[in-house]
Structure 1
Amino acid sequence: MAKKSISKGIIKDVVIVAVGVLVIWIGLQVAFGTQNPFYVVASGSMIPVLEVYDVLIVQGHEPFEEIEVGDIIVFNRPSDHNRVIVHRVASILDDDPKTIRTKGDANPASIPGTDFPITEEEYIGKVAYILPQVGYITQLLKPPINYVIIAIVIGIMVVKQIAKRKKEKELSFTDPLDSENPDTIEELSDIDKIEEDIEYSEPTELKETKENEESSETESNESTKSDGKSEEYKK
């Protein structure tokens, strides 16, 4: 029964954490207008502006039509869309439909199929913020480190639930006489004293009745003795 309670407690904690993460993630997607607001720089093509492991926060609400030369944007590689790239806009190739060419700051020239042609279809968003070197965390969270962290978190939840159940069990079996509250002990002692007084004391009315009966018996005996002596004198 205790194991089931612990399991339910762990599941509850995991659900709360998962729901919290989901709510935060959905909130970020809505706020920045993109399915993934965070990207980690994986190459040195934008050095020195962007270093490897810098985290980029991308603003998807920035319209593609308003992108200008000099903006740093994130986009899918136009040749196959299987890679995300972050480069600077180098020129506007066409206005209808708008088509742009990009280039990495550290690259000598634009690469066809990678840097251009970029249309609205490839566009993801404009770089709004840069978090230097925060991407090292993502490297630490790669397997097997991420599994170790998950195991530690689950272990903490288990210990937490066991400690909670143990505390509740101790509280449920606490003896009131062992309480540290002196008023409770004194009150219980007074009750014992009252019961003792009731047990060994007689009511006043009963005591007086007994005394009266004993007095009447004594008088009656004396009277009987006196009558006996009188009869003897008469004889």
Structure 2
Amino acid sequence: MSKLSLKSGIVKDIIIVVVGIAIIWIGLRVAFGTENPFYVVSSGSMIPNLEIFDVIVVQGHVNFDQLKVGDIIVFNRPDGHDKVIVHRVAEILNKDPLVIRTKGDANPGSIPGTDFPITKGDYIGKVVYVIPQIGYVTRILTPPINYIIIAVIVGIMLVKQFGKPKSSIEKLSDEGKTKSLDETVNKSDMDESLSNDKSYLTENSDLSETKTNDEFKNSTDKDPALQ
């Protein structure tokens, strides 16, 4: 296999992986109606319902106006939008327009500027699924572990390229070589057989000729008419 074909195969595999990830990511964003449907819990403010490193799945298609007390939501901190918060809706402060107050389950009370006032502009989505402790993966994927994983993936691609079965052309070539070798062997065996048959016929011909001469001599001795 040429270096050019090997490189093109690796590039093709990388493109397939990247395109596949992009399609899945875009599909998830459309399905959940938010730019990022996954968040990792990074504080203990929602313990015991949400633990640190739990991954939460956020549904952005749930309208802000449909929220009610008890819902767990994700929103940008109203004071500066400098942090993403996941807390529970604790109170409806105003209905038109809707303004709410939230609170962390483990916190003694709501924090001004963080838990209220939450408006539609701060809202990201409602928590619909929780995947326990899977967020540890994000902690593991830090240098140099992430580079090692990339190296392993590249290594698998290389093995895949070198381990590919022979092409149909290579197989036909090998079969042709085998067939030619068989024909050569068969031809050699045939020549040897013909040579042996020829030698056998020559020897028998000499014996027959000698026997015929002897018989002719004996017959002339016995038959007076031929003297």
TM-score, L = length of structure 1: 0.73
How do residues 17-56 of structure 1 correspond to structure 2 at under 5 angstroms? 17-56=17-56
Which residue does 2:13 correspond to in 1?
A: 13
Determine whether 1:89 maps to 2:72: no
Residue identity matched to 2:145: I
| Uncovered stretches (5+) of structure 2, i.e. residues with no partner | 195-227
- Return the alpha-carbon distance in structure 2 between the equivalents of residues 175 and 67 of structure 1: 72
Equivalent pairs counted in the alignment come to: 193
Which residue does 1:164 correspond to in 2?
A: 164
- Return the alpha-carbon distance in structure 2 between the equivalents of residues 172 and 112 of structure 1: 78
Which residue does 1:114 correspond to in 2?
A: 114
Secondary structure of the equivalent of 1:146? helix
Secondary structure of the equivalent of 2:119? coil
Which residue does 1:146 correspond to in 2?
A: 146
Residue identity matched to 2:82: N
Residue identity matched to 1:136: Y
Secondary structure of the equivalent of 1:164? coil
Query: What CA deviation, in whole Å up to 9, does each residue of 1:81-131 have, x standing for no partner?
Result: 121110000101111211100000000111111111111101000000111
After TM superposition, give the deviation of residue 161 of structure 1 in Å: 1.4
- Return the alpha-carbon distance in structure 1 between the equivalents of residues 30 and 74 of structure 2: 18
- Return the alpha-carbon distance in structure 1 between the equivalents of residues 89 and 151 of structure 2: 44
**Superposition CA RMSD, Å:** 2.9
Which residue does 2:80 correspond to in 1?
A: 80
After TM superposition, give the deviation of residue 177 of structure 1 in Å: 4.7
Query: What CA deviation, in whole Å up to 9, does each residue of 1:11-32 have, x standing for no partner?
Result: 1000000111111111111111
Query: What CA deviation, in whole Å up to 9, does each residue of 1:192-216 have, x standing for no partner?
Result: 969x99xxxxxxxxxxxxxxxxxxx
Which residue does 1:104 correspond to in 2?
A: 104
Residue identity matched to 2:119: T
How do residues 223-234 of structure 1 correspond to structure 2 at under 5 angstroms? none
Identical aligned residues as a percent: 60
Secondary structure of the equivalent of 2:161? helix
After TM superposition, give the deviation of residue 160 of structure 1 in Å: 1.7
- Return the alpha-carbon distance in structure 1 between the equivalents of residues 149 and 172 of structure 2: 35
After TM superposition, give the deviation of residue 170 of structure 1 in Å: 5.9
After TM superposition, give the deviation of residue 4 of structure 1 in Å: 1.5
- Return the alpha-carbon distance in structure 2 between the equivalents of residues 118 and 106 of structure 1: 19
Query: What CA deviation, in whole Å up to 9, does each residue of 1:210-234 have, x standing for no partner?
Result: xxxxxxxxxxxxxxxxxxxxxxxxx
Query: What CA deviation, in whole Å up to 9, does each residue of 1:131-172 have, x standing for no partner?
Result: 11111111111222111101110121122213338x449646
Residue identity matched to 2:102: T
After TM superposition, give the deviation of residue 173 of structure 1 in Å: 4.9
Q: 1:159 to 1:172 in 2, by over 3 A?
A: farther
How do residues 165-180 of structure 1 correspond to structure 2 at under 5 angstroms? 167-168=166-167, 171=171, 173-174=173-174, 176-178=176-178
- Return the alpha-carbon distance in structure 2 between the equivalents of residues 143 and 75 of structure 1: 30
